[in-house]
Chains A and B, each alone.
Chain A
Amino acid sequence: MSEARSRRPEFENVAAGSREAFAAWVDGAPDGRVFGQVITRPAKPFGYSLRHTDDARAAGLRVSEDPRAAREIAKLTEGGDYRPLKSSPNLRRGWEIRVADARGLVTAMNYLYPAGVVHWYLNREGRLDLTSFRENAARQSGIYKRVQRLSDEGVQGAVLACCEDAVCLKKTLWDIDEDTPLEVDRGEGEIPCPEPCSIFVSFARRVRLFEREKDVDGLSPSEREDLSALIEAAATGEVGFAREAEFEQPLNERRMRYRRLTLVPKLRRNG
């Protein structure tokens, strides 16, 4: 897929270019532009304002004039959980950042959605380099090397579980390889995803381990483990989920999303 796109000129300063283009894009919309879960608008008399989209009209927000305050905002969810993936739709609310200029705007954005602005810019210009799953996997070493053996079907399943808008707001632009496109809804938002991220690779490793298991009486050992854990947790009246990237734990949301794809049909069929 990368061949179809013109390569980016080697000597362009894409960071500076993206800053100007992004600021101009925001300037062009007095009512604001939505980027991930952030709405940003030109603020009078000069500068920009950034808020959570759900706070677009809210009063009484905690206001900061330091663009780097965005790092603390992006770090934890409303409930105080660590956010390993900044494009997860769990950005907390209650804040506003006011910055003086385009530089401040991009600095804040780079903490909220790291590298999001430059990827947005390159994609808009049709010059974003994409890296397929297979290319990315070929680069892996150490404990991640085993993702090289993940089947095409496994990659599809992992993407459905890990990358859909319900769990990640980026538009998944990469494919399995040059000839094998992902057959998924790539997402609606403005922020492109040009290459499997480290969360995805870690999840793909988990899925590869699932693939290698053998069914005994119709279920794999880890499927049994997950079902037991789910029943035991639900029986206490409260299902406590594992952390967002804790894929080794049964009650992880992405792991459960993968089970919904693969285990639920199996159970229904057997029933």
Chain B
Amino acid sequence: MRALVIVGHGSHLNEDSSLPVYEHAGRIRETGEFDEVVECFWKEEPSMRHVLDTVESEEVYVVPAFISEGYFTQQVIPRELGLRGPVSRKGMKTVRYAGPLGNFEGMPDVILERTDDLMRAREVSGRTALVLLGHGTDLNKNSGGVVYLNAGRIRERGIYDLVEVGFLDQTPEIGRVVDGVEAENVILIPLFIAEGWHTRETIPEDLGLTGGVTVRDEKTIYYGAPVGTHPSMANLIAARARETMMEQHLV
């Protein structure tokens, strides 16, 4: 039997954080690709510490619902799940640990689906810029890298006049990027896993957004939902798991 374990951050304060994990798990369950699909969290139950005891399958695929490689994917998750590398043996289980979602090759497609959903049936004229918004952080230098990586991959496809990146906690700061970008239309997509305080409050506030569409100066800003809540993220999670099936190396 085969199990997929999706690891989310979770929250002590609200349901926003775990919701996409539950929704993607539900979608993957329906495909029947895995005998079991189980959710677990850092801040919610079941905890990573105990989730494997609830799994009956011998073949276990662990996919972190995180955008970038860093503190959680490299330290917290392996430690809490008791993993020793990409493939670990735990009793009768073989546990394969996949990388985060953001640097996976399928990620640009999910971002573009998100922008398509946002722009569907809208008439735009003039230049259009796609701006990818990342958290960026002091703790984790890769968190910015994954935003640049996706911007580069989308830029190569030549769909938009411009593809830029901006951050909340590092430079280039998102407000400046949006103000400075030379395009009449700005599509702003947060590279976040879930809705939360930032996507609902700090970002709209800092950028003076009045909703999904904000017309300001000579610009129209289209603000999308975080990429992690898009339904096609479920396919990405399953594909991430599938990719680790190639890993033969037992640690």
Residues of A within 8 A of B (CB): 10-16, 19, 68, 71, 75-76, 82, 84-86, 110, 114-115, 117-119, 122, 131, 139, 141-142, 194-195, 197-199, 202, 243-246
Given A12-B92, A139-B79, 7 more A-B residue pairs with CB atoms under 8 Å apart are A19-B56, A75-B15, A82-B15, A115-B45, A115-B53, A139-B80, A198-B47
> In the docked arrangement, what's the CA distance between A114 and B92, Å?
22
**Smallest beta-carbon distance A52→chain B, Å:** 19
Q: Interface size (B, Cβ < 8 Å)?
A: 28
Query: Which 3 pairs across A and B sit closest by C-beta, in order of nearness?
Result: A245-B12, A114-B46, A114-B45
Report if B50 contacts A (CB, 8 A): yes
**Smallest beta-carbon distance B4→chain A, Å:** 15
**Smallest beta-carbon distance A184→chain B, Å:** 21
**Smallest beta-carbon distance B204→chain A, Å:** 22
If the complex has contacts A202-B12, A245-B12, A246-B13, are A14 and B22 also in contact, measured as CB distance less than 8 A? no
Report if B44 contacts A (CB, 8 A): yes
B71 and A86 within 8 A (CB): no
List residues 38-56 of chain B with CB under 8 A from any CB of chain A.
Answer: 42-47, 49-51, 53-56
A195 and B54 within 8 A (CB): no
A199 and B50 within 8 A (CB): no
Residues in A whose Cβ lies below 8 Å from that of B42: 198
Residues in B whose Cβ lies below 8 Å from that of A198: 12, 42-44, 47
**Smallest beta-carbon distance A111→chain B, Å:** 10
B22 and A110 within 8 A (CB): no
B56 and A13 within 8 A (CB): yes
B79 and A115 within 8 A (CB): no
Residues in A whose Cβ lies below 8 Å from that of B125: none
Nearest residue (CB) in B for A76 is: B15
B79 and A118 within 8 A (CB): no
Nearest residue (CB) in B for A243 is: B13
> In the docked arrangement, what's the CA distance between A10 and B45, Å?
24
A84 and B11 within 8 A (CB): yes
Nearest residue (CB) in B for A103 is: B56
> In the docked arrangement, what's the CA distance between A85 and B11, Å?
11
B53 and A11 within 8 A (CB): no
Query: Which of B12, B22, B26 sits near A199, CB closer than 8 Å?
Result: B12
